[in-house]
Structure 1
Amino acid sequence: MSRFSRPRRLAAGLSAAALACMSLGAATSAHAGPSAEPAAGPLMNYVVNAKATPGHVRKAEDAVRDAGGTVLTSYQQFGVIVAQSTNPDFRTDVRAGKNGREVQSVGATRTAAVSEGAGGLNATDEAQATPVLDPREGEQWDMVQIKADQAHQVTDGSRNVLVGINDSGVDDTHPDLAPNFDARDSVSCVNNGVPDTTAGAWRPTTSSHGTHVAGTVAAARNGVGIVGVAPGVRIASVKVVNDAGFIYPEYSICGIVWAAEHRMAVTNHSYFIDPFEFWCKDNGDQGAVQEAVRRAYAWATDQGTLSVAAAGNSNYDLSNKTTDNNSPNDSTAVPRTINNDCLDMPTELPGVITVASTTRAVAKSSFSNFGLHKIDVAAPGSSILSTLPGGRYGLMSGTSMASPHVTGIAALMKSTHPWWGPRELERALQREADDTACPATPDARCTGTTANNSFFGEGIADALDAVQR
């Protein structure tokens, strides 16, 4: 699986990285003598889970400080604190102090030391389609497969709909993206998960992935280049991928909370959360992180934000997890046995739309993850033409490219049904997808029925039905 779907490392043409379930161990303190203070360990970030009330969270924050930690961000609305400490015994000490009873669970968010340093920052009318084609629209076979070309005869989407591109940053100067870009609601979350609204902080620095994803969602109908699935909606960049290509839990939590707080109707997540491809519930650190991330995404759903995510690029059966050989990817990978309680996040979280990838021939892309009752819908992801930084265009492949097609369709749905919330959008995406059968040549991995199977879920996402019903 590529780390962004890598973004997923980025699902398209970037090096793949996977994640495994092992305990995130803290270094043992060295002591000079009975009265010596323990030596400082590596700078690490943690999630600390508490009851979701202001009083309980404040006491848990005190527990963090009592254990020698710093509170980076605190989400009272769902009871999650992101903390930082060089105390090698932080996980024990945070629960041992006078306020430790307020801590439900605590877990490190990565296996390698924090690279970004200590602390953080202080931190309406519908656009109607026209008969004029943009110059490279004829190369976009993917838009034909999902019937976006027909949907555009009805609407290009509403300016009232804002879509979050939770990725590696978006080049807002690209001529196909600038008309639809919302800088005011854009942010970077890659400084320890603390929102950075400095002008341009949300732009890409080392990756073209987010810009490519953004073009598929909403490249403008402006006589230039290509056209996105929803060329009339607005997009914001929510940067959750650092310069090394990692998406740590605190970045993803920051990004989804920001999106919900800024009324983004749909967010696209073409990545998996590092450093584990699968976060296991029965592992101390990983279990705490799984719970923290689950809370954040559930809260965002309750606020009205639908999350759409790439299924991943490991050609792995998500419904039958057995091994993980590539995690953690920020230190030394250790092969391990896993089970279905180990989740690929955010794609396997409740309420998140999981998208598999198809080829131009309407077959499962060779790299695409699959799984009965794991895949919601499928969409084109092989050799997709879209925008690249610097005003360029290029082809990328991956479930990272499939997911934004569905994000764009959800944005069209929200445009034509503005009263729909995430659950209505989810049901409609599944209901209106075009049933797609398993391959005619038997493939034992494809199980289920034509109406719902492990390769295509409910079928190929359908943009035309999205705006007609």
Structure 2
Amino acid sequence: MAEPTPADPVEYVAVVDEPGPGAPEVETFTATSEADLEAQIDELEAEGTVVAVEPEQPVAALVDADPRSAEQWGLTNSAFSTAWTNGFDGTGVRIAILDTGVQAAHEDLAGKVVQGIDYYAGSSGDPAGDSDYGRVDANGHGTHVAGIAAAGDNAVGGLGGAPGATIVPVRVLGAGGSGSSSDVSSGIIWAADPTKGNADVINLSLGGSSCSSSQQAAVDYAESQGVVVVAAAGNDDVNVPIYPAGFEGEVIAVGSTTSANAKSSFSNYGTPFVDIGAPGSAILSSYKDSPGQPPNGAYLVKSGTSMATPYTAAAVALLLQHCPAITNGSAAGGSVADKVLATLQATASPEIAGLGASLVQAGALTTVTCPT
């Protein structure tokens, strides 16, 4: 842990589990000395159990730029239309998008984005304020991710993997696509809290190199609430975990594939880190307002494990609609995340050479015998 000095104060993040029911709280504070740090931790311990304390850490959206247009091949390769034909479109499932915000007025997302929360504005003074509750996006990344997951079946633009699902926007990244571990941790806890975000699935198309104890505590809370967390495996073409995807057993780590069902050149890889593959190269989706495109009608092709992750979140939404007992407590044995991951992997195909995982298959998820 970094040692603060008066000349070089350090910002810290703590997760505090206060007495009584309810979600843990994420606290941030600045310390100017080791004694100051210890004193502030003592104050927090007077409020409740301090689950984690660490220096603030950076996180960023995980995109690999790609100018090629390939339309929506991912829906075909992962057989989403089969799931729709089987009667499953994600209706009743809430997907939290922790990202740069979501442009709620976009033609492909209109009426699908409920009130969320903006943690980034509160911590940074960013001009896109928290009065918009996460429903603005100055970067475009979150809007792109949301469209892949759940763009509506409305005869305009594209189509999301779970077009009937509800989008819960949680803004934790700014216009530059970066943010802090404390905002991500706060966002995970808020999204998983049944009295607040009430999410069934949390999409994290972001990450950083450090193993954050505050994010670990937040993911632990999400798991305790039966919320499925999916996260991008990273775009460095290495067999090295990034976080939060690297929290093995609690987060489903998603690698990226191409239209030829091959490993995307940029995707991180390796067993046991990468749990599942999903389409992530040259993906067309909704985007923020852009020059030359109509207001609330912009689209862009982007690549990255950031794009593969919402395809997986959509597939999870279809599975949860098909097998609601996974989350309502009537299915026994193992966590919700364990059951969902086992089902994803059992139905995935083909195996993607060099990725360490197979391709998610949404259609098969809607005919599988539900886990018990």
Q: Can you give the 5+ residue segments of structure 2 that lack an aligned partner in the other structure?
A: 59-69, 290-296, 328-335
| TM-score between both structures, scaled by the size of structure 2 | 0.81
Instruction: Pick closer, same or farther for the CA change 1:456–1:380 going to 2, 3 Å.
Output: farther
Contact residue 150 and residue 167 of structure 2 kept, 8 A? yes
Cα deviation, residue 226, structure 1: 0.9
The answer as to 2:321 corresponding to 1:386 is no
The answer as to 2:55 corresponding to 1:140 is no
Q: Counterpart in 2 of 1:258?
A: 190
Higher strand share: 2
Cα deviation, residue 385, structure 1: 0.5
Distance in 1 separating the partners of 2:137 and 2:15? 32
Contact residue 272 and residue 356 of structure 2 kept, 8 A? no
- Which stretch shifts more, 198-207 or 365-374? 198-207
SS in 2 for 1:353: strand
Distance in 2 separating the partners of 1:45 and 1:388? 33
Distance in 1 separating the partners of 2:54 and 2:310? 31
Cα deviation, residue 47, structure 1: 2.4
Distance in 1 separating the partners of 2:44 and 2:188? 32
Letter of the aligned partner of 1:29 in structure 2? P
Q: Counterpart in 2 of 1:47?
A: 13
Instruction: Pick closer, same or farther for the CA change 1:234–1:102 going to 2, 3 Å.
Output: closer
Describe how 1:4-403 pairs up with structure 2 within 5 A: 24-26=2-4, 28-29=5-6, 42=9, 44-48=10-14, 52=17, 54=19, 77-78=23-24, 81-85=26-30, 87-89=32-34, 90-94=36-40, 106-110=53-57, 139-183=71-115, 186-190=116-120, 191-192=122-123, 198-261=130-193, 262-273=197-208, 277-279=209-211, 290-318=212-240, 344-349=242-247, 350-390=249-289, 391-403=297-309
Cα deviation, residue 178, structure 1: 0.8
SS in 2 for 1:237: strand
Q: Counterpart in 2 of 1:323?
A: none
Distance in 2 separating the partners of 1:400 and 1:437? 18
Q: 2:325 aligns with which of 403, 419, 425?
A: 419
Cα deviation, residue 96, structure 1: 7.1
Instruction: Pick closer, same or farther for the CA change 1:97–1:392 going to 2, 3 Å.
Output: closer
Contact residue 45 and residue 110 of structure 1 kept, 8 A? no
Cα deviation, residue 237, structure 1: 0.7
Cα deviation, residue 102, structure 1: 6.8
Cα deviation, residue 97, structure 1: 7.9
SS in 2 for 1:202: coil
- Superposed CA deviations along residues 402-446 of structure 1, whole A, max 9, x for unmatched, are 1110000001111111221333222211211114152xxxxxxx4
The answer as to 2:355 corresponding to 1:428 is no
Cα deviation, residue 316, structure 1: 1.1
Letter of the aligned partner of 2:315 in structure 1? I
Cα deviation, residue 218, structure 1: 0.5
Q: Can you give the 5+ residue segments of structure 1 that lack an aligned partner in the other structure?
A: 1-22, 31-40, 56-74, 112-137, 280-289, 319-342, 439-445, 447-454
Distance in 1 separating the partners of 2:124 and 2:131? 17
Cα deviation, residue 197, structure 1: 9.1
- Superposed CA deviations along residues 302-338 of structure 1, whole A, max 9, x for unmatched, are 11210011100011112xxxxxxxxxxxxxxxxxxxx
Letter of the aligned partner of 1:384 in structure 2? I
Instruction: Pick closer, same or farther for the CA change 1:432–1:24 going to 2, 3 Å.
Output: same
Distance in 2 separating the partners of 1:392 and 1:236? 21
Alignment RMSD, CA only?
Answer: 2.8
Q: Counterpart in 2 of 1:410?
A: 316
Q: Counterpart in 1 of 2:366?
A: 467
Cα deviation, residue 243, structure 1: 3.2
SS in 1 for 2:138: coil
Cα deviation, residue 250, structure 1: 1.0
Instruction: Pick closer, same or farther for the CA change 1:162–1:317 going to 2, 3 Å.
Output: same
Letter of the aligned partner of 1:47 in structure 2? V
Distance in 2 separating the partners of 1:354 and 1:147? 20
Contact residue 54 and residue 213 of structure 2 kept, 8 A? no
Cα deviation, residue 25, structure 1: 4.1
Letter of the aligned partner of 1:108 in structure 2? P
- Superposed CA deviations along residues 223-255 of structure 1, whole A, max 9, x for unmatched, are 101111011111111111023432211111111
Distance in 1 separating the partners of 2:108 and 2:90? 17
SS in 1 for 2:179: coil
Letter of the aligned partner of 1:348 in structure 2? G
Contact residue 193 and residue 250 of structure 1 kept, 8 A? no
- Superposed CA deviations along residues 26-60 of structure 1, whole A, max 9, x for unmatched, are 2x337xxxxxxxxxx65x5322356x4529xxxxx
Distance in 2 separating the partners of 1:25 and 1:53? 27
Paired positions, count: 332
Contact residue 204 and residue 210 of structure 1 kept, 8 A? no
